[in-house]
Amino acid sequence: MNIYVGNLPYEIDDGSLQDAFAGFGAVDSAKVIMDRDTGRSKGFGFVEMPDNGEAQAAIDGLNGTDLGGRSITVNEARPRPPRGGGGGFGGGGGGGRRY
């Protein structure tokens, strides 16, 4: 199960996030999302747990608890909405004058 973790303290790293969930069962991965420009945490991350029962126990046990001085939000991650395929360059605007 993929789990969303929000309102993370900016000091939390992947290892600390994994440690917070490891008490509830096996953790496949834990990733704090970082800002590309600043290299600083965006304040949220995702944890992947293979066992849905353990994942649900982690959600129930950690949601609203204090982690590094902040009350974290923990719930099942929703699938990312599809990105618009757009891209196109709009129609050509008839650039030439007609006399």
The CATH number of residue 31's host domain is 3.30.70.330
Q: What is the pLDDT of residue 88?
A: 55
Is 11 or 87 the better-scoring residue by pLDDT?
11
In a domain, residue 20? The reply is yes
Does the residue 45 lie in any domain? yes
* Chain segment 56-85, per-residue pLDDT in tens: 999 999 999 999 999 999 999 998 788 766
For the chain, what is the mean pLDDT?
89
Buried/exposed code over 78-89 (b: 16+ C-beta within 10 A; e: otherwise)? eeeeeeeeeeee
- Residues 8 and 69: beta-carbon distance below 8 Å: no
Which one-letter DSSP state was computed for residue 50?
S
How many domains does the chain fold into? 1
Look up the domain containing 17 and give its range. Answer: 2-76
Name beta bridge partners: 70.
67
Q: Is the pLDDT of residue 5 over 60?
A: yes
Mean pLDDT (whole number) for 20-43: 96
In a domain, 96, yes or no: no
Distances (CA, A) of 31 to 18, 89, 94: 8, 35, 49
